[in-house]
Amino acid sequence: MTEYFRGYPIEFNGLEYIFSDTKQSTADTWESRPCGHCGKFNTEDGHDACIANLPGVINACCGHGHDKAYVQFENEKTIRGRFDE
């Protein structure tokens, strides 16, 4: 089973997780890569560009085409799952 991080295949090299395509550390380089699904970079505030600044939302992740997306609302309710286009 392939694991993904921000839409990119990753692997464990025995010491840390790395991006499969570049062999670079996910911890050290993830912020410099765009979303592996839509190609957009995070906003200046660090939010997923495709869903940034949603009203009533305090935390969200688009899922990047592979991971489960989620939306956490101000009322503390959370919706999780895969949202296909």
Annotate 15-84 with DSSP letters as a single string.
SSEEETTT--BHHHHGGGS--TTT-PPPPTTS--TTTTT-TTEEEEE--TTTSPEEEEETTS-EEEE---
pLDDT of residue 68: 80
Q: Which domain holds residue 25?
A: 3-81
Number of domains in the chain: 1
**Cα(41)–Cα(79) distance, rounded to whole angstroms?**
24
**pTM tops 0.85, yes or no:** no
pLDDT of 41 strictly over 60: yes
The overall average pLDDT reported for the chain is 88
Please name the helix (run of DSSP H) or strand (run of DSSP E) that holds residue 2, with its range, or none.
Answer: none
Which pLDDT belongs to residue 63? 82
Q: How far is CA 72 from CA 16, 36, 38, 57, 69, in A?
A: 29, 22, 21, 6, 10
Is 67's pLDDT higher than 80?
A: no
| Residue 28: per-residue pLDDT | 96
- Across residues 67-75, what is the average pLDDT? 87
Work out the pLDDT band at 83, boundaries 50, 70, 90.
low
